[in-house]
Chains A and B, each alone.
Chain A
């Protein structure tokens, strides 16, 4: 009995808590230069960042509408502090966000901000959309229609 309860709890926990990869920028960097036929939509955000949280549903919407069209949405969380994975997991469940989330843990920000895009000066949110060597960068909050238009343009 006790065993089945703990098994049940264990199953619930695995289902509930999403696993996140935590990377430094060097590990993450190849994600910005993949040379395949997928269009990558990569957003820098954090749970405490109000405009970031406001635009999250737009990215989720993009993920769903372009599900079978070789578009990949990656949300790069810059959250830090105690129990960050647990907090993220709860937050994403609550907001119903199912896009891939990666935690970027690289506190020497000056060393990598310019490698994301030389126009980026480090203010959150920021979004890179690219396919092979064509790319577009937003250093601000974006809407679904801007994202969709950019993706469609890159695929024209």
Chain B
């Protein structure tokens, strides 16, 4: 019995601990400053004219992330000019996945012609603040003055394998709603992805 109670309290505590730091839809997000592949540091505050952001935790090595690369480029091309640029962040520790090192990020961005910043979360603090758990993992933020509000968390669309078979574009639908000053109809989905690689 005692063991059971201890176990339950442990579960409760760990549940609280995990939830305390992750963003939920409706929360305010904290800005960050991370190094981009061009060596410059980028903050969301640098984007004076943006209406919001499509923050995507992604990486080089994960097949789901790779499957979405072209779609992420398309999202940026389509929505940057409307005020919602893509900000990609690699949260992985290259000591665990060498393919996700800063140099490899630069290489991949060049190969694919990324049109958006590809930032390196070297201290692995930003993804923990957001509560991201995998790549790719999307957070759409809206900007109101200095306030950044989490509007959508989840997956890009409903077919990771085949772009041509997508029938629901969650991220596009959410941004389109925000552009009309409406709350997105779907604000949370579960994305399949590669767990973020960290030593702890």
**A and B together in one complex:** yes
Measured between beta carbons, the chain B residues less than 8 angstroms from A81 are 63
Question: How many chain B residues have a CB neighbour from A under 8 Å?
Answer: 25
Measured between beta carbons, the chain A residues less than 8 angstroms from B170 are 110
Is B28 an interface position by the 8 A CB rule?
no
Measured between beta carbons, the chain A residues less than 8 angstroms from B35 are none
Question: How many chain A residues have a CB neighbour from B under 8 Å?
Answer: 24
Q: Is the CB of B63 within 8 A of A46?
A: yes
Q: In the assembled complex, how far is the CB of residue A138 from the closest CB belonging to chain B, in whole angstroms? A: 12
Q: Is the CB of B190 within 8 A of A120?
A: yes
Is A11 an interface position by the 8 A CB rule?
no
Is A113 an interface position by the 8 A CB rule?
yes
Contacts A109-B190, A110-B155, A121-B134 given: A51-B162 contact, CB under 8 Å? no
Residue of B nearest to A46 (CB): B63
Residue of B nearest to A141 (CB): B195
Number of CB contacts from chain A to chain B under 8 A: 67
Interface bits B151-170 vs A (CB < 8 Å: 1, else 0): 00011001111100100001
Contacts A107-B161, A123-B134 given: A50-B197 contact, CB under 8 Å? yes
Residue of B nearest to A48 (CB): B63
Interface bits B169-200 vs A (CB < 8 Å: 1, else 0): 01000000000000000000111111111000
Taken together as a complex, chains A and B put the C-alpha atoms of A120 and B136 apart, in Å, by 15
Contacts A50-B96, A107-B161 given: A122-B193 contact, CB under 8 Å? yes
Taken together as a complex, chains A and B put the C-alpha atoms of A109 and B170 apart, in Å, by 13
Q: A48-B194, A108-B159 are known contacts; what are 8 more A-B pairs with Cβ within 8 Å?
A: A48-B62, A50-B96, A51-B195, A107-B158, A109-B190, A110-B189, A114-B190, A123-B196
Chain A residues within CB distance 8 Å of chain B: 46, 48-51, 78, 80-81, 105, 107-111, 113-114, 120-125, 139-140
